[in-house]
Structure 1
Amino acid sequence: MIVKCEELDILKPLIKRAGQAVLKYYGHAGEVQYKEQNDSPVTRADLASQEIIIGGLAQFGYPVLSEEKTDDMARLQSRRVWIIDPLDGTKDFLQNTSEFSIMIGLVEDGRPILGTVYQPASDILYYAKRGTGAYREQGDGLPMRLKVSDETKFQSVRLLVSRHHLLPAEIEVAKQLSITKISPCGSAGVKIGWIAAGQAELYINSSDKTGEWDTCAAECIIWEAGGRMTDRDGNMLQYNKEVPKNLNGFVVSNGGIHQYVIDELQSI
């Protein structure tokens, strides 16, 4: 089955065009600026990608919330909002790991209804529309429907962790649940794509500093692949908030182990 969706017909070539712009800087990122609030890097690649995406989304007439764009609070009056990350995993981009991505999500009434995550260095595209399943395409290949793994034995669970922002709570959960298969990975979008494709089962981010742009697009994909994504207490994430942050972190899983992980987090 191939998903038919007017927005996806526009988003798929748009996000790949942004990816091509990013790759022009890959390996020689040029000038790097740092955000005052969290000392995270912004490159010319971030800004080039953002310009292409915002220009392409203008035809829809919905507000855009972006990590690199000045926030327009008028978005709070709109039922539908685009939430984008023009380059997720900038440190991985600068370190040439290939594990960076571009993410475009569409929110309606505070919940994701459409998501695209593109990994330019590998030419891998993940996408989903609510109610129609999640898919992965590589290059010019045919779409492959995504389904999470059914693994529930923690000795066999594959945990993905951040290469740059690993927190003690995440290691403690792994210890308490006897998880030994732990792999560092870059962008949140890449991690969640792997779980959606059945290549891992768990990703915990206990930070209060991630933005809605870090999770929006990928959340639509993981749910449509049969997985789950909540905050640390098991509550659904909400989007287009006045303060667009995931203040209670988030947990992504294949679904079958999710409540066990949430319960363990409560005890830490």
Structure 2
Amino acid sequence: MKDAAIGLVGRSLLATALGVALTSVSSASPYTATHVGELRELWMSSTLNNSTTGVSYPFAMTTRSPNVDELLNPPTVTRAYGGDSPTTVTYPMIVTEVNDAGTSIGTVPAEGGDPSNPWDARSRVFTVRSEDGGYALLVDLLPGVLASHSEMMLSQSNQILVTDFGGYTTQTQKTWLFDVNSRTSTPLEALVPAELLATYGTMIATGIDDRGNLLVHGARPGPYPDQPWSTVVDAFILTPPGQAAPSPIPPPIPPDPLQVPEPSALWIFGGVAAALGARAVVGGRGGRTDRS
């Protein structure tokens, strides 16, 4: 728990040590990989689409932004500044994403930050809201200045994809998957099949869908290995064990411009044409004026 100098506010407590949040490190089995094309070919709508092949893959992401009530009544944390007689300030959690299970992710000012600019260093946290509107422990996934060089993505599977970009000094990127239900953390490398790691080395995760599928990509040398512009970046969907890999959705078949209409359609078109022709003849006879 936090040092006694840090106040804890009502329904919202903050777990400080990273070990409190990551109660154990999971030794999960590798996921199943589905190649979906080069990263530059992909675009997202309600599905993941390959602009070159026209093939799409299911990749629904239906978590949402906080609603009005959640914005007006957010979790809070109190920070203490000063020595023997500290000044306390209460801050709201900035909620960025919410799922149907009531899990919220967001940021709060980091412990030990600058009181004149408390939001400069943030901690990335999550909490779970109960049916009565109260919040459970506010858990710290990335403390302090690391949060300004990191990101979190929430899934309807109640998992959080966390990436630490390493900051200004190390530049070492680390990604892991945190399971809210089991409070376990799994490094991304443990989820990527060995053959992908052998081919690409480092894999980068850029998304997680409602089922817990991960969107990752890795770079390999292109046809001109000595030229950086020739590098090929391949994208994959990683599917958790026990789930079926996403089935590709083929592109729609365009209509054949030379296709002959069905006989029923010909009768309809013929009837309409005959009716229009008869109307034109009748109208011409009734409206003619003799100018001789």
**Same fold at TM > 0.5:** no
Between structures 1 and 2, the one with greater strand share: 2
**TM-score, normalising length: structure 2:** 0.27
Please say which structure displays the higher CA radius of gyration. Answer: 2
Q: Judging by fraction of residues, say which structure has more helix.
A: 1
Question: What is the TM-score normalised by the length of structure 1?
Answer: 0.29
